[in-house]
């Protein structure tokens, strides 16, 4: 097993073993989606119409809130020092950590979507569309959030600062994620157009996220 596989395995093991890192995100997602009908009223037709938006917003918040410990824990116990010294390029190490984080927090959100879709009276097509767009879009959220997580280490400050810095950057992902879901349900644009843009955004963040996060971690050295 190579260094990156080792890092991936360690991070996944840690988030499964340490007090519900993975489950916490899903739980938060569930609670947010449950809260919204209390605010809007139990109008099933309305919930059905804005269901994709609710699910996307819930997933966006859930995947960002779990991020601020991504590098902070490694920084506090000295692991980050050794990762920085290692022979593996930092960008790839950061990417491995992001992948582990997505598998343990992003993927469960995608899996939970059909269940939550039932609460919002979404039909099969809608649930499928939302789950598919989340599967493609949540990696972008994790990768963009990576930058915030790295900045949180440099600044030695997490908490609210991270979402304040990161959320504006996720606007395009939100727009095209929700648009693609809605396009599959009601149109008028074909599903493919916004969905392909969403894929492009994910690929772009695959490059920008690790590069910027690694740069931030290196800058934060001294």
Partner 1 sequence: MPLIDLANPTRFLALTQRLLPGLAVATALAFAAGLYLAWFVAPDDYQQGATVKIMFVHVPAAWLGMGIWALMSLSALGTLVWRHPLADVAAKTAAPIGAALTFVCLVTGALWGRPMWGTYWVWDARLTSVLVLFLMYLGVLALWRTVEDPARAGRAAAILTLVGAVNLPIIKFSVDWWNTLHQPASVLRLDGPALHSSIMTPLLVMALAFALLFVTLHVSAMRNEIMRRRVRTLRLMQAGAA
Partner 2 sequence: MRLRLTASGLAVVRGFREVFSELSFELAGGELLALTGPNGAGKSSLLRLIAGLVRPSAGALALEGGDPELSIPEQAHYLAHQDAFKPALTVEENLRFWVRFAGADEAALGEALAAVGLGSLADLPAAFLSAGQRRRLSVARLRAVARPLWLLDEPTSALDAAAQDRLAAIMADHLAAGGLIIAATHGPLGLAGTRELRLGQASPETA
Name the segment binding partner 2 (CB under 8 A); options: 9-17, 100-108, 137-145, 204-212: 9-17
Report if residue 156 touches partner 2, rule: CB under 8 A.
no
> Any idea which residue has 């395995």 for tokens?
9
| Counts for the chain of helices (H) and strands (E), in that order | 11, 0
- Kindly report the backbone phi and psi dihedral angles of residue 188, in degrees, each rounded to the nearest multiple of 5, phi listed first: -85, -20
Query: Do 210 and 143 contact (CB within 8 A), yes or no?
Result: yes
Shortest Å distance, C-beta 187 to partner 1: 11
Name which of 70 and 112 has its Cβ closer to partner 1.
70
Name which of 29 and 74 has its Cβ closer to partner 1.
74
CA distance 134 to 174: 10
155 binds, among partner 2, partner 1, none (CB under 5 to 8 A by kind): partner 1
CB neighbours of residue 158 within 10 Å: 19
Report if residue 17 touches partner 2, rule: CB under 8 A.
yes
Name the segment binding partner 2 (CB under 8 A); options: 6-14, 51-59, 180-188, 205-213: 6-14
Binding region for partner 1 (CB under 8 A): 147, 151, 154-157, 161, 164-165, 168-169, 171-172, 175-176, 179, 189, 194, 197, 201, 204, 208, 212, 215-216, 219-220
| CA end-to-end distance (rounded Å), the chain | 32
CA distance 88 to 104: 23
Q: Mask 81-120, x = binds partner 2 (CB under 8 A)?
A: xxxxxxxx--------------------------------
Name the segment binding partner 2 (CB under 8 A); options: 12-20, 32-40, 142-150, 202-210: 12-20
- Kindly report the backbone phi and psi dihedral angles of residue 124, in degrees, each rounded to the nearest multiple of 5, phi listed first: -60, -45
CB neighbours of residue 54 within 10 Å: 23
CA distance 174 to 55: 11
The site for partner 2 (CB under 8 A) is made up of 1-3, 5-7, 9-10, 13-14, 17-18, 76-79, 81-88, 221-222
């Amino acid at each position: 097993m190579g260094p990156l596989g080792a890092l991936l395995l360690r991070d996944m093991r840690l988030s499964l073993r340490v007090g519900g890192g993975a489950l916490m995100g899903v739980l938060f997602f569930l609670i947010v989606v449950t809260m919204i009908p209390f605010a809007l009223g139990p109008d099933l037709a309305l919930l059905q119409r804005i269901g994709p938006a609710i699910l996307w917003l819930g997933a966006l918040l859930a995947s960002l809130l779990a991020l601020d410990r991504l590098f902070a824990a490694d920084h506090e116990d000295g692991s980050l020092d050794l990762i920085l010294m290692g022979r593996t390029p930092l960008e790839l190490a950061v990417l491995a950590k992001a992948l582990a984080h997505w598998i343990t927090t992003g993927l469960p959100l995608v899996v939970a979507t059909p269940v939550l879709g039932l609460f919002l009276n979404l039909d099969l097509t809608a649930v499928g569309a939302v789950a598919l767009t989340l599967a493609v879009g949540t990696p972008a959220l994790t990768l963009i959030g990576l930058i915030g997580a790295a900045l949180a280490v440099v600044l030695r400050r997490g908490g609210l600062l991270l979402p304040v810095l990161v959320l504006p950057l996720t606007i395009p992902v939100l727009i095209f994620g929700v648009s693609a879901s809605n396009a599959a349900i009601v149109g008028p644009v074909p599903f493919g157009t916004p969905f392909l843009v969403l894929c492009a955004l994910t690929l772009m963040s695959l490059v920008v996220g690790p590069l910027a996060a690694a740069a931030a971690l290196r800058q934060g050295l001294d």
